[in-house]
């Protein structure tokens, strides 16, 4: 059972930093982590010596948090290397908030970095080879599946059941590009039309190449602090009002393909925050593929089940048109998808919106409540989701 967190006990996001690079052949992954850490701490008005809690996932060099603690020269009393795929960093926000509330640390640093573009990774290949130690490997590996193929199946099923069209999927990409044109750091800044998406090559029927996210190097970092420290800093106070995490399992092959773990993680976050979807003014939704945004809108309660395609085609996720704009930085579809893990940038843009620091054409007026949601791993294989609800109180 979830209850609202007392405002006096809420952790706050004091620092956020998105690395400006999208191609970094001249930097190591460890260097990108360090640069992101320094950027987020500078944004918060803090230093490495203030950090007493560190969080990262398997993208950290060596996959062990202690190695990055050593590399950054941190003196910490709490370390967390929880790996949950692409939703790891949204989940880390919740874990860091819990650690701060429990007195395990007062200043928590979360970092992400990677170089998939420098390594020449192609669309949909990030999950091609399951390590043989994974439980599902004996049944899944022989089929040489890819994450793009899985979401192609999901999109086709959504079309079959709900009448969703390729044009409606394309509206998600077109909407992201409307936002990205205002972001000088976005990987794709040129506005993209629905027809552009439909004319792009098919990669996993019914998903076209432009239904897929960008692949780029880069990273990002967040700094969470206790409420007392937040009030002492010269920064807006952005409280973690609620968080939720869920794993949607394979259920012996009988899982509901058109329901993501967001259905549970979102409900838990709303319950903890004491809020409902109508309270949210801005949403960051993980968009590795266009179909993901449509399904998250449904599972989070922004629209009815099966109505996500119509919802996006009506312009409801576009800043200045919809009540709850989505991914105003351009999202993973146009702006940034570092290390193929979208959760970090989702939280960063939510923080910008709450601070009033988003690009002026896409800034939500008087934004006080924002949501970030991300998914990790893959359907039918430990599909993880995490949701956080953030509230500006000063």
DSSP-assigned letters across all residues of 125-169: -TTSS--TTSTTHHHHGGGT--HHHHHHHHHHHHHHHH---HHHH
Question: What are the residues facing 29 on neighbouring strands?
Answer: none
Give the three-class secondary structure for 223. Answer: strand
Instruction: Count the neighbouring beta carbons within 10 Å of the beta carbon of residue 99.
Output: 23
The edge-to-edge listing of strands for the beta sheet with 12-18 is: 78-80, 53-55, 107-114, 218-225, 12-18, 238-248, 381-392, 369-378, 282-285
* pLDDT tens per residue across all 394 residues of the chain: 444 556 667 999 999 999 999 999 999 999 999 999 999 999 999 999 999 999 999 999 999 999 999 999 999 999 999 999 999 999 999 999 999 999 999 999 999 999 999 988 766 555 555 667 777 777 777 777 788 988 999 999 999 999 999 999 999 999 999 999 999 999 999 999 999 999 999 999 999 999 999 999 999 999 999 999 999 999 999 999 999 999 988 777 777 889 899 999 999 999 999 999 999 999 999 999 999 999 999 999 999 999 999 999 999 999 999 999 999 999 999 999 998 899 999 999 999 999 999 999 999 999 999 999 999 987 767 789 999 999 999 8
Residue corresponding to tokens 């949701």: 387
**Domains defined along the chain, listed by start:** 9-118+217-240 (3.40.47.10), 145-214+241-392 (3.40.47.10)
- The torsion of the CA quartet 197, 340, 254, 298, rounded to 10 degrees, works out to -60
Q: How far apart are CA 203 and CA 176, in angstroms?
A: 20
DSSP-assigned letters across all residues of 164-182: --HHHHHHHHHHHHHHHTT
Query: CB-based contacts of 376: which residues, under 8 Å, 6+ apart?
Result: 84, 85, 86, 87, 88, 341, 343, 383, 384, 385, 386
Give the three-class secondary structure for 242. Answer: strand
* Beta carbons of 293 and 172 less than 8 angstroms apart: yes
Q: Kindly report the CA angle at 101 between 82 and 37, in degrees rounded to 5?
A: 50
Token digits for 283?
């949403």
pTM: 0.95
Where do runs of H (alpha helix) occur along 250-382?
A: 262-273, 290-299, 308-313, 331-334, 343-355
* Beta carbons of 156 and 257 less than 8 angstroms apart: no
Cα–Cα distances in Å, from 225 out to 37, 46, 73, 106, 174? 14, 10, 19, 5, 37
């Amino acid at each position: 059972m979830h209850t609202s967190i007392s405002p006096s006990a809420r952790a706050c996001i004091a620092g956020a930093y998105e690395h400006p690079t999208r191609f970094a052949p001249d930097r190591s992954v460890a260097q990108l982590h360090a640069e992101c850490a320094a950027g987020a701490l500078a944004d918060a008005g803090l230093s490495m010596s203030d950090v007493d809690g560190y969080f990262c996932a398997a993208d950290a060099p060596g996959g062990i948090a202690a190695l990055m603690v050593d590399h950054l020269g941190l003196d910490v009393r709490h370390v967390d290397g929880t790996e949950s795929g692409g939703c790891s960093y949204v989940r880390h926000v919740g874990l860091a908030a819990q650690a701060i509330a429990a007195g395990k640390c007062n200043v928590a640093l979360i970092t992400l970095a990677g170089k998939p573009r420098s390594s020449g990774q192609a669309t949909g290949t990030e999950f091609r080879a399951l390590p043989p130690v994974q439980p599902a490997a004996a049944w899944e590996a022989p089929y040489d599946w890819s994450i793009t193929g899985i979401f192609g199946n999901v999109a086709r099923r959504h079309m079959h059941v709900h009448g969703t069209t390729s044009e409606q999927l394309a509206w998600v990409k077109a909407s992201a590009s409307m936002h990205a044109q205002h972001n000088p750091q976005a990987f794709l800044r040129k506005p993209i039309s629905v027809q552009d998406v439909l004319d792009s090559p098919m990669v996993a029927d019914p998903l076209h190449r432009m239904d897929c996210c960008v692949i780029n190097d880069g990273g990002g970092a967040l700094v969470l602090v206790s409420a007392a420290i937040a009030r002492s800093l010269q920064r807006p106070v952005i409280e973690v009002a609620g968080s939720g995490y869920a794993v949607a399992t394979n259920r012996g092959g009988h899982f509901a393909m058109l329901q993501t773990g967001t259905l549970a993680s979102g409900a838990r976050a709303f319950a903890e925050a004491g809020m409902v979807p109508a309270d949210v003014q801005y949403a960051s939704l993980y968009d590795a593929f266009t179909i993901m945004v449509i399904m998250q809108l449904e599972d989070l309660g922004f629209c009815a089940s099966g109505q996500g395609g119509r919802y996006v085609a009506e312009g409801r996720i576009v800043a200045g048109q919809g009540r709850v704009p989505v991914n105003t930085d351009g999202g993973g579809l146009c702006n940034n998808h570092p290390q193929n893990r979208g959760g970090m940038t989702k939280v960063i843009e939510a923080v910008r919106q709450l601070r009033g620091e988003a690009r002026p054409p896409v800034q939500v007026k008087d934004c006080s409540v924002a949501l970030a949601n991300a998914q990790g791993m893959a359907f039918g294989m430990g599909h993880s989701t995490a949701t956080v609800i953030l509230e500006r109180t000063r």
